[in-house]
Amino acid sequence: MPYPNHRPRRLRSTPAMRRLVAQTSLEPRHLVLPMFVADGIAEPRAIESMPGVFQHTRDSLRKAAAEAVAAGVGGLMLFGVPTDGDKDATGSVGVAEDGILNVALRDLAADLGSDTVLMADTCLDEFTDHGHCGVLDVRGRVDNDLTNARYVELAVAQANSGAHVVGPSGMMDGQVAAIREGLDAAGHADVVILAYAAKFASGFYGPFREAVGSSLQGDRRTYQQNPGNAREALHEVELDIDEGADIIMVKPAMAYLDVVRAAAEISPVPVAAYQVSGEYSMICAAAANGWIDLRTVALETLTSIRRAGADIVLSYWATDVADWLA
Ligand code: PBG
């Protein structure tokens, strides 16, 4: 035995001792709350597959956002849900000044100013009638460069509406460079790019599709990554950093902790991980059956994502965690 006198249990003897030697911290400031705001609804609408998560009205969004910020969460990530009638092939309602996401960003920017970090999902899938994250070519394939041009317009519209951070999540090649150039040209050199650098084509996004009323038929495997490809994930991370990403993200989180760890080891910029809808729903469902304890498991998963190397974690439990830890 290399350490015959070591008895690790000594350091587990009291809550104070355990607190003193705790290696990984989980604080509300590490967490970002993803939020959905929908057009054309009079009351907040519960998302059935995500208990406790809502499509918000503009008013209920303001209230929930203020609560999250008062609880101490690190930031808010906003997703817009337009009416089906406002969706079109190129996602125009995402760019429109009176589109629901941009309007809600202005609401929150007015309410919260710089008390929080306001982020917007910079993607087309919520806004297109076909549900893909990009613009389609004549053969129905997602066209990389046409899509990037649209992302620039989206990002500039979001920055104009008060977003401090834009989050390109569509996995187009060159999206970060295109958006950086577009933001700078529009006078938004201070707006941060949180790049969904390694985003996998995952079954864990299932409940999100209900959350945003997705119109998608088929899948996203021509742009999102194959779950088995770790080397490619690091290549994507390096490309995004090279293109000017200020923060890089791995998504989903729990099934990809090796990728989070590997990204954290090479990244000179902060690393985020997204605990996605299916990760949330799965734990809620097991807890509702009495099979696991929700709070224990939620905190354990978030701590594990931090332990793997994530500086920032997006989680639908962000406000709850802040309350639990208070
Ligand atoms: C795409 C986007 C998705 C999620 C965040 N941004 C869905 C997808 O790629 O299909 C998923 C988030 C979640 O599941 O919680 N704009």
Answer whether residue 319 is part of any domain: yes
> Quick one: which atom of ligand 1 is closest to the CA of 277?
15
pLDDT, tens digit, for every residue of 41-71? 999 999 999 999 999 999 999 999 999 999 9
C-alpha–C-alpha distance, residues 192 and 210, integer Å: 28
Closest to 78 in 3D by CA, of 133, 123, 29, 27 = 123
Domain containing 76 equals: 25-325
- Residues of each annotated binding site for Mg(2+): 236
| Ligand 1 site-directed mutation target among 123, 142, 216, 250, most atoms within 8 Å of CB | 123
pLDDT of residue 234: 98
Mean pLDDT for 228-255 is: 98
Question: Measuring from atom 8 of ligand 1, which residue has the nearest CA?
Answer: 205
**What is the 33 CA–ligand 1 centroid distance (Å)?**
14
**What is the 292 CA–ligand 1 centroid distance (Å)?**
26
DSSP summary character for residue 89: T
Answer whether residue 13 is part of any domain: no
> Quick one: which atom of ligand 1 is closest to the CA of 204?
14
pLDDT, tens digit, for every residue of 73-88? 999 999 999 999 999 9
- Residues of each annotated binding site: 209, 220, 236, 277, 316
Answer whether residue 12 is part of any domain: no
Alpha carbon dihedral 261, 322, 286, 204, in 10-degree steps, equals -50
Answer whether residue 199 is part of any domain: yes
pLDDT of residue 140: 93
Alpha carbon dihedral 7, 9, 15, 19, in 10-degree steps, equals 60
C-alpha–C-alpha distance, residues 1 and 282, integer Å: 42
pLDDT, tens digit, for every residue of 153-207? 999 999 999 999 999 999 999 999 999 999 999 999 999 999 999 999 999 999 9
pLDDT of residue 214 exceeding 90: no
Residues contacting ligand 1 via CB (< 6 Å): 121, 123, 125, 133, 169, 205, 208, 220, 276-277
**What is the 201 CA–ligand 1 centroid distance (Å)?**
10
| Crossing angle between the packed helical segments 230-243 and 175-185, to the nearest 10 degrees | 20
**What is the 199 CA–ligand 1 centroid distance (Å)?**
9
Mean pLDDT estimate for the chain: 97
**What is the 120 CA–ligand 1 centroid distance (Å)?**
12
Which range (207-211, 224-228, 266-270) has the least confidence? Answer: 207-211
Percent of the chain exceeding pLDDT 90 equals 96
pLDDT, tens digit, for every residue of 281-309? 999 999 999 999 999 999 999 999 999 99
pLDDT of residue 34 exceeding 80: yes
Answer whether residue 10 is part of any domain: no
Domain CATH number, residue 221? 3.20.20.70
pLDDT of residue 133: 95
> Quick one: which atom of ligand 1 is closest to the CA of 196?
6
CA distances from 302 to 221, 247, 257 (A): 27, 19, 11
What's this model's pTM, rounded to 2 decimal places? Answer: 0.97
| Ligand 1 site-directed mutation target among 35, 79, 276, 284, most atoms within 8 Å of CB | 276
Query: How many independent structural domains does the chain possess?
Result: 1
Answer whether residue 11 is part of any domain: no
pLDDT of residue 89 exceeding 80: yes
Answer whether residue 4 is part of any domain: no
pLDDT of residue 213: 85
- Count other C-beta atoms under 10 Å from residue 42's C-beta: 7
pLDDT of residue 1: 72
User: Which residues belong to the active site?
Assistant: 199, 251
Where are the strands (E) in the chain, listed by range?
Answer: 31-38, 45-46, 54-56, 75-81, 118-122, 165-168, 192-199, 247-251, 271-274, 312-314
Mean pLDDT for 93-97 is: 97
